[in-house]
Amino acid sequence: MIVNLDDYVHYLAIEKGLSDNTIEAYLRDIEAFLRYLDLEFNIKDSLNNIEKEAIIKYLKQLEKKGISEKSQSRFLAAIKSFFRYQIREKLITLDPTSTIESPKTSRKLPGILTISEIDRLLDCPDLQTTIGNRDKAMLEVAYGSGLRVSELLSLKMDDINLELGFIKCIGKGSKERIIPIGEIALDHLLEYIQKYRPALLKNNRERTLFLNIRGNKMSRQGFYKILVHYGKKAGISKQISPHTLRHSFATHLIENGADLRSVQEMLGHSDISTTELYTHLTIKHMKKIYNNTHPRA
């Protein structure tokens, strides 16, 4: 099927304000769906001929292939978005997805580190080296702010206000938010900026805050490898990822009395129900402590 997706990409980026990663995922899903339509129904030119049953059959095929409910929901969200766009542009007259409901997905509680594990992790970098000081500052900022890994690695020098103690970042949907960071993270960040970032800098016009050894912006994979390395060094047996620090940040705040709205603001969640997931985590944690310590438990 020959369908020009350029205008749709423009719509997702400019009018919907979706991130590059989300747009890329939507495009992959739509292109896979269009290939399926070509193979199964030999539809050559018009999306008007597509019926609800074709989409349901496609979703059932995904299920048979062992695709998770979460991924199925993402596929359906992409397809629904695509057909809504077609209706909006008057390219089709009926939306075959309008009465299709997304599969119910169970929400898994995120993995977190205890405060003791966080302390061990943050104590791992070697502060006698340039790389160790960069890593120390990076980990302190990640845990101290709850930034997504893409937000952390995209920070620019101008996004840091050392005097007032906050970070400015651009999150999902190109939304800007301001996040406070504590004195410990600020101290190590200042040390890195003044003494160690210049040693990594190869181009004076480079404004990215955290640099790799080539003087460029660090990749997500690069940060993941650093984190896993320090996790092993700290003797942490749990699976650890950049998101683990974000989950731990939110959980520790709520455990210590932070209100949900403030945590929602700092995390950049558009829906507070996403933030509420962390209250379930803290309740589970409290119940475990109770069962382990109360004489009548």
Active site residue 278: yes
For residue range 8-18, list pLDDT tens digits in order: 898 888 888 88
Last residue of a domain, one of 88, 103, 125: 88
Q: Are residues 152 and 187 in the same domain?
A: yes
Catalytic residue among 80, 120, 172, 285: 172
pLDDT band for position 212 (cuts 50, 70, 90): very high
C-alpha to C-alpha distance for 148 and 154, rounded to whole angstroms: 10
In a domain, 285, yes or no: yes
C-alpha to C-alpha distance for 277 and 109, rounded to whole angstroms: 7
Residue whose pair of structure tokens reads 């190869």 in the numeric block: 202
Active site residue 88: no
Residue span of the structural domain in which 40 resides:
6-88
Catalytic residue among 243, 261, 284, 288: 243
Q: Are residues 41 and 183 in the same domain?
A: no
Q: Are 240 and 228 in contact (CB under 8 A)?
A: yes
In a domain, 93, yes or no: no
Q: Are residues 56 and 120 in the same domain?
A: no
CATH, residue 208: 1.10.443.10
pTM of the model: 0.61
C-alpha to C-alpha distance for 252 and 263, rounded to whole angstroms: 10
Q: Are residues 171 and 254 in the same domain?
A: yes
Q: Are residues 147 and 61 in the same domain?
A: no
For residue range 46-86, list pLDDT tens digits in order: 677 788 888 898 888 888 888 887 788 888 989 999 999 98
Q: Are residues 31 and 173 in the same domain?
A: no
Query: Please, what's the largest Cα pairwise distance for the chain?
Result: 72
Last residue of a domain, one of 69, 88, 107: 88
CATH, residue 32: 1.10.150
Average pLDDT over residues 31-36: 89
Please give the pLDDT value at position 218. Answer: 93
The residue among 131, 126, 166 whose CA lies nearest residue 146 is 166
Q: Are residues 140 and 225 in the same domain?
A: yes
Q: Are residues 61 and 142 in the same domain?
A: no
Active site residue 104: no
In a domain, 123, yes or no: yes
Active site residue 287: no
Active site residue 243: yes
Active site residue 172: yes
Q: Are residues 42 and 179 in the same domain?
A: no
Please give the pLDDT value at position 64. Answer: 87
Catalytic residue among 134, 136, 252, 269: 269
* Number of independent structural domains in the chain: 2
